[in-house]
A and B are shown apart, each in its own frame.
Chain A
Amino acid sequence: MKNYDVIVIGAGNAGLSSAATLALEGKKVCVFEKHNIPGGCGTSFRRGRFEFEVALHQLSSMGTEEKPGPLRKLFKEYGILDQIEWIEIDSLYKVNLPGGLGVALPTTRKGAEETLIKQFPEEKASILAYFDTVYKFCGEMDDFAAASANSTGGEPSNIKKLLTQALFAKKYPYLAKYALKTTDEVLEDFFKSKELQLCLSAYWCFMGMPPERFPFYILAKCTNIYIEDKPFYLRGGSQVISQALTEAIKKAGGDVKFSCGVKKIVVENGEAVGVIDANGQEYRCKKIISNISPIHTYANLVDRELIPREAREYLSGYTVGISALTCFIGLDCPPETIGFTDSFNLIYDDLDANETFKDAYTLFPDKDPIIATCYTVDDPKVSPEGTSIITAGTLKYGTPWEELNPDEYYETKYKAANIIIDRLEKRFPGIRSHIEEIEVATPLTHMRYLNHPGGAIYGYEQDVKSSFVFFPREVFIKNLTFAGGWVNVCGFGPNYMFGNQVAKQVSKEVK
């Protein structure tokens, strides 16, 4: 029986980064991946002349060469930084409001403030105060994280607890005030204009929670890091990072097994001791990092009688999150032909984002906000000359799709795509007549490729009660831990870095 220090289940972003960290630290690591290629969400597929990015819109935390962010530093450690052609994106996003007004925010704080002030001059003071609050809040978050990291671990003494009780709100006033607020609670406090609020809340779509439920701390953090570290894309898309990480793992002596999922986690005396792969081969290890959903990890890979009751109780407090309905579109014209000018777009046909978001629980995207990215704006070479690539879609829960009769599936899928194209046609006249390829991914497509319950693309619902200090990270079977979007703020940057963080901890534990 083959032995490893650590076995990683799933070659998703955090699975790959954790394995890379472990391999570079000299640990014997093996990644099991049921698909034939690495990446999970971080992948691409081909149709005709086009290669479509599946999930990455803008990579966070990269920073520039002069002022590197934490992700750039991590990729450098992995030795993959220079293998990749990074592309800095020149706007944060463009919010397209009902009635046709579009507001594109530049990637500097000053630029963003000025753009908004120009558009909403009567709220100038509030705009400046808001950015000030976002920055101060994020500063406190960093300080608090640094202080927590320095603590020795385990429950602190009662004296320390009493001190914290007395001083926390004084030491971290912005954290105390805002950390548990929703986006709407904060934005409504600052601003009168609904349009302006929508211009600032755009990142809600990165987590799939409407503004009335989207944690303000994630919004603040996104705003802050995308401005400070700039949004990035890369030539060839996220599949290139996934492949580069795979090569880095192998180069450092790690194993990556493709087309070979894990069928079972072997638990002995309440401890995870190994896995059995899809071919029935058994492997032993000291630690397991699961990069798949905790739900599948327990429910499908552990014998029912061995699933700790506490794990079941604990996880029942979390709700499976949202999926998506996405059109991957290859056009036989450049983006400007149909008036597409910005990389990342949020399109509202109604000012009440919370109300239209309710469509996420239905099959058809009649009103829901549309998220549209034109990769050609970032990288004109992403497809052959004279063509362009746009992905456009809406966030959708899996349930109505799960309930469909299979015989209705394809018809429903095309009907849904048609609605999205009709809505885009109003903003970008001519788009339909230039479609050369279109592939439609539904929540069931995401379920098929990610094997996530509900086809969830961001893991659990990330509302206030399920995020921040509440992530489902607790360990119930000894030596089985998790890395990935199900147990962390979901996103490419956060997952790579969280995988690294988990691996560092695991590495300490396997001597």
Chain B
Amino acid sequence: MKSMKDIIIGQMEKGPEIMNEGAVAKKIGKDIITEKNKTDRIVRSIHTESLNLIVSEIHQVTSDAKAIRFVSADGYLPVFEAGQYVNIFTEINGVRTSRPYSISSSPKQRGYYEICVARIPTGFVSDFFLDKVKVGDKFEANGPQGVFRFNPVFHYKKSVFLAGGSGITPFMSMTREILESGADREIYLIFGARKAELAIFHKELSAMAELHPNFHYHLVLSESDSECNFRKGFIDAKCIKDIVGEIEGSTFYMCGPPVMTDFCAKALEELNIRPKDIRREMFGARQDIQNEPGWPSNLTGDEVFKLKIGDKVIDAKSSESLLISLERAGVRVNVCCRSGECSLCRVKLVSGNVFLARGVWARHADEKFGYIHSCKAYPSSDVEIEF
């Protein structure tokens, strides 16, 4: 006797026909074995989760900055969008940490990725890259990520890049891409630096500007002496207006230290630029977090609190993010942007209080259920968290 299922289907209109279709499908269908590792293979060619990089070249670009080029240990560097970053892991004095660096090379070539590291006072990772790293050194990194990029669906073809210090790097990638591919775009790059000799890529940018009429490059120096023929001061509304002329129909991109981008944001507001036409690159933990708006006035930054995670209790300094404290204590944390956007380092705040720096892209659910991004959370009491 047939199975109950077959009997019931047999009583339905089109039943035998559908049963037959099913039987045929089984015969001609694809064996699941052919799918083994297939999605991994496809996804990896575009979004590679982790990279194994080898330093291939190091160039001193200013007295305080180096361009470092990496090739892939496994032969393939994934595609990326100009403006994206790679988060590079290091182990320094036994502490595993990482830093996100914008790629400065053009996405049109993927023989290597270039990043640029500038010295930051008290920056122990930048010191490491500038003083210790040599050709042949190996690093792990997250594949390219980030949303600071040109989006042709709604960005104008006229781009105004406002760069400060090492914030030039994503613009270098964007500019190289546009000029090398002959894209129908126009670029105004306004680059703020302390002195001309500290402006990373200054020579290369000047040469590119000479060659390409659609690329306008302006250096603005805050500490220049009277001899030099660069613009002096800061990137304010007047400066932007003077250089760009017709500001209507431009998309503005800002990348630099928070002090600089805050200043530029105000300038753009004065110029009545709509938020949709302003792109601002995220920024990592600032060295002077005590100066962040909203910082608890009763804290000096030197307090050391207890941070509990699972069975572990570690020290956590009020001026260091929970992420840094966890890394110092050797706790492995999933991490990528270190700037509050990607949410990989998200943890649950079980008890205690934290100060949340600006720029966190929390989800509604995070706020509702007490999750925080550890890269932008600073303890203001003893704290307990869980993954």
Residues of A near B120 (CB, < 8 A) are: none
**B274 and A448 form a contact (CB under 8 A):** no
Cα distance A313–B26 in the bound complex, in angstroms:
7
Instruction: Kindly identify which residue among A316, A432, A437 contacts B26, using a CB–CB cutoff of 8 Å.
Output: A316
Pick from A176, A259, A414: contact of B11, CB below 8 A: A176
Contacts of B369 in A (CB 8 A): 243-244, 247
Contact status A36-B334, CB under 8 Å: yes
The answer to whether A236 touches B42, judged by C-beta atoms less than 8 angstroms apart, is no
Main secondary structure of the interface of A (DSSP, over half): helix
Cα of A300 to Cα of B334 in the assembled complex, Å: 24
Expressed in whole angstroms, the Cα–Cα distance for A97 and B13 within the complex equals 32
Binds B, one of A41-49, A111-119, A219-227: A41-49
Task: Verify B364–A237 contact, CB threshold 8 A.
Answer: yes
Interface centre among B32, B42, B274, B371 (most CB of A within 10 A): B32
Which residues of A213-254 have CB atoms within 8 Å of chain B's CB atoms? 235-237, 239-240, 242-244, 247
The answer to whether A307 touches B11, judged by C-beta atoms less than 8 angstroms apart, is no
CA distance A451 to B42 in the complex (A): 10
Q: How far is the CB of A448 from chain B (nearest CB, A)?
A: 5
A260 to chain B: closest CB distance in Å?
A: 9
Contact with B along A138-168 (1 / 0, CB 8 A): 0000000000000000011010110011001
Question: Given A236-B368, A332-B275, A410-B81 in contact, is the A156-B8 Cβ separation under 8 Å?
Answer: no
A242 to B366, CA, bound (A): 11
B4 contacts A299, CB within 8 Å? no
| Complex interface: chain B residues within 8 A of A244 (CB) | 365, 369
- A306: Cβ under 8 A from any B Cβ: no
A421 contacts across to B, CB distance below 8 A: 153
Q: Does A198 contact B (CB under 8 A)?
A: no
Query: Are the C-beta atoms of A470 and B22 separated by less than 8 Å?
Result: yes
Report if A465-B21 is in contact (Cβ < 8 Å); known contacts: A176-B12, A299-B36: yes
Query: What residues on A are CB-neighbors of B147 within 8 Å?
Result: 47, 439
| B4 in contact with A51 (CB, 8 Å) | no
A294 within 8 A of B: yes
Q: Assess whether B25 is interfacial by the CB under 8 Å rule.
A: yes
Stretch of A7-15, A21-29, A177-185, A488-496 contacting B (4+ beta carbons < 8 Å): A177-185
Known: A168-B8, A180-B15, A247-B369. A236 touches B363 (CB 8 A): yes
A437 to B279, CA, bound (A): 10
What residues of chain A lie closer than 8 Å to B298, measured between beta carbons? none
Is B79 part of the contact surface with A, judged by Cβ < 8 Å?
yes
Whether A295 lies near B32 (C-beta < 8 A) is yes
A465 and B15 CA atoms in complex are apart in Å by: 10
Judged by a CB distance under 8 angstroms, whether B260 is at the interface is no
A120 at the interface (CB under 8 A from B): no
- Cβ-defined partner of A318 (8 Å) among B25, B33, B344: B25
Min Cβ gap B203→A in Å is 30
Q: In whole angstroms, how far apart are the Cα atoms of A244 and B11 in the complex?
A: 44
Report yes or no: B46 in contact with A175, Cβ–Cβ below 8 A.
no
Contacts A164-B8, A465-B21 known; A294 to B32 CB distance under 8 Å?
yes
Interface string of B268-302 (1 = CB under 8 A from A): 00000011100000000000000000000000000
Across-interface contacts of B387 in A (CB, < 8 A) = 258-259
What distance in Å separates the Cβ of B160 from its nearest Cβ neighbour in chain A? Answer: 17
CA distance A151 to B14 in the complex (A): 26
B13 touches A180 (CB 8 A): yes
Instruction: Tell me whether A235 and B152 are in contact (CB under 8 A).
Output: no
CB of B153 within 8 A of CB of A414, answer: yes
| A3 within 8 Å of B (CB atoms) | no
- What string of 1s and 0s marks CB contacts (under 8 Å) between B32-50 and chain A? 1101111100110111000
Q: Which residues of A contact B341 (CB under 8 A)?
A: 46
Contact with A along B42-72 (1 / 0, CB 8 A): 1101110000000000000000000000000
Leading 7 A-B pairs by shortest Cβ distance: A236-B364, A316-B29, A317-B26, A46-B361, A436-B276, A435-B154, A168-B11
Chain B residues at the A interface, C-beta cutoff of 8 Å: 1-5, 7-15, 18, 21-23, 25-26, 29-33, 35-39, 42-43, 45-47, 78-79, 81, 147, 151-154, 274-276, 334, 341, 343-344, 346, 361-366, 368-369, 371, 387
Q: Can you name 10 A-B residue pairings with CB atoms under 8 Å?
A: A46-B361, A181-B14, A240-B365, A242-B365, A312-B32, A319-B25, A406-B46, A417-B153, A418-B153, A436-B154
Q: A residues touching B (Cβ–Cβ < 8 Å)?
A: 36-37, 44-49, 51, 83, 155-156, 158, 160-161, 164-165, 168-169, 175-181, 235-237, 239-240, 242-244, 247, 258-259, 294-296, 298-300, 304, 307, 311-319, 327, 332, 402, 406-407, 409-410, 414, 417-418, 421, 432, 434-440, 444, 447-448, 451-453, 464-466, 469-470
